[in-house]
Amino acid sequence: MTVKAIDTNAWADNDWLILGEIGTGNAEVLQVKGSPTDGTSLSVDNAGSGGARYNHAINEPVYRIDFNQVEFNRNTTDTTSGVSVLTTAEVQPDDLFTRFEDTSNTTGFGFVRFKNSETSAFSSYSDGIPYTGYGAKALGRIIRGVRRILSETEADIEHITDQDIIEEVNEKQRDVAHDGGRLWPFYETIRSSSQVANQRRYTIDDNVEIGKAFTITVDSQPMAKIDQDRFNILNWDNLRTEDPTHAGVWNNRIVLWPLPSASASSDTLDGDVTATATTIMLDDVSDFRAPGRALINSEIISYENVLTKTALDGTLTAAATTVTVDSTTDFPSTGTIVIDDEEMTYSGTGSTTFTGVTRGVNSTSAVA
């Protein structure tokens, strides 16, 4: 077989390859026969029984593959320990899928892995595929449903392939079955904009299209979705201002209803933030809600809690069980405080003290 170039670092004797475009009628699996040499010639055979079975035109692709077979397995539980091999089938390069139907079992979980018949090497197992809960055409319906939700067509197959969706279905079975509330992760993007008092419309990227699935939160509160017709009905009172409750996307803008009554909370950092930091110090957090998201420069950071801040009123030894501060106002009667890198719990408060303090909790160390 004459090819454009052979790199002996990439090819070896008994390697498997697919000659022809996958999914076309003359695509076939062949095996390298003999050690290749640098150049343009590659000796192949059909697993020891002659050369290529079909004619191939110039410029047809040649793909090196690690495995030439597919092993289909089953287990009664969703684990690969103790699986039973149902059959081992040759890869079918003239089709996009290599298929097998288990006609003997109706319950359990199926597992698939690839096999190299020359070396007996295997790939990792696939995720478990439940026998029940899906009809014969369920996967096709899921794929079409995903494309419909995302307003994708067959013309977009290079952007989101069927295989992308299949892999996501296998990985996220529980999310799909129980409506986890998330977009498909391979398609998710996050954009952030600061709310401005009395500003209804916020420009977003040009590649956000009408009809795409989206979720909008304002101060961590999810907005009800609204289309343009519904917005026009609601917006008869176009001067009404309060916390927004509805949001829509059209004309490359996010549109909020009603008008925001206040701008987004903002403050300044009280110290540097490292790439691995899990606590961020601000001058004042009184206007922030929890949980929520903060925008620092161009990075969006999600946070779970907002911590009240005070200052030490004197030195603190590593053995102290009472911590004296400027004020304990706004702190709960029991809880956890953080000083530098040390976390400590307390069981009581005075006006300027935390009492019953346990030092160095949550894998931190008590320090002076």
Q: Is 141 helix (H, G, I), strand (E, B) or coil?
A: helix
Handedness of CA 5, 7, 10, 13 (dihedral sign): positive
Q: Give the span between the Cα atoms of 53 and 83, in whole angstroms.
A: 35
**H or E element in which residue 304 lies:** none
**H or E element in which residue 114 lies:** strand 109-116
The confidence score (pLDDT) of residue 265 equals: 67
Return the amino acid letter for 355. Answer: T
The confidence score (pLDDT) of residue 53 equals: 85
> What are the structural domain ranges in the chain?
2-65, 69-130, 138-177, 201-260
**pLDDT-based confidence at residue 120 (cuts at 50, 70, 90):** very high
Q: Of 54-63, 176-185, 347-356, 357-366, where does mean pLDDT reach its minimum? A: 176-185
Does the structure show a pLDDT above 70 at 70?
A: yes
pLDDT in tens, 212-244: 556 777 766 778 888 888 888 777 766 777 888
Does the structure show a pLDDT above 80 at 5?
A: no
Mean pLDDT, residues 147-161: 68
**pLDDT-based confidence at residue 155 (cuts at 50, 70, 90):** low
**pLDDT-based confidence at residue 181 (cuts at 50, 70, 90):** very low
Assess contact for 245 and 259: CB atoms under 8 A: no
Q: Of 108-112, 278-282, 291-295, where does mean pLDDT reach its minimum? A: 291-295
How much of the chain exceeds pLDDT 90, in percent?
21
Does the structure show a pLDDT above 80 at 345?
A: yes
**pLDDT-based confidence at residue 177 (cuts at 50, 70, 90):** very low
Q: Give the span between the Cα atoms of 228 and 248, in whole angstroms.
A: 7
- Tokens 């640098």, residue located: 38
pTM over 0.75: no
The confidence score (pLDDT) of residue 164 equals: 80
Q: What is the mean pLDDT of the chain?
A: 80
Strand duo 259-260 + 241-242: pairing: parallel
Q: Of 28-42, 174-188, 214-228, 275-289, where does mean pLDDT reach its minimum? A: 174-188
Long-range contacts of 284-292 (CB under 8 A, 24+ apart): 284/309, 285/309, 289/219, 289/220, 289/265, 290/220, 291/220, 292/219, 292/220
Name the residue with higher pLDDT: 313 or 210: 313
The confidence score (pLDDT) of residue 267 equals: 67
The confidence score (pLDDT) of residue 332 equals: 86
154: DSSP letter: G
Asked, as a colleague might, if the bond just before 36 is cis with ω within 30 of 0, I would say no
Q: Is 354 helix (H, G, I), strand (E, B) or coil?
A: strand
Q: Give the span between the Cα atoms of 179 and 299, in whole angstroms.
A: 28
**pLDDT-based confidence at residue 176 (cuts at 50, 70, 90):** very low
Closest CA to 73 of 114, 29, 16: 114
Mean pLDDT, residues 318-328: 92
Handedness of CA 150, 155, 156, 161 (dihedral sign): positive
Assess contact for 257 and 245: CB atoms under 8 A: yes
Q: Give the span between the Cα atoms of 346 and 355, in whole angstroms.
A: 6
Name the residue with higher pLDDT: 252 or 28: 28
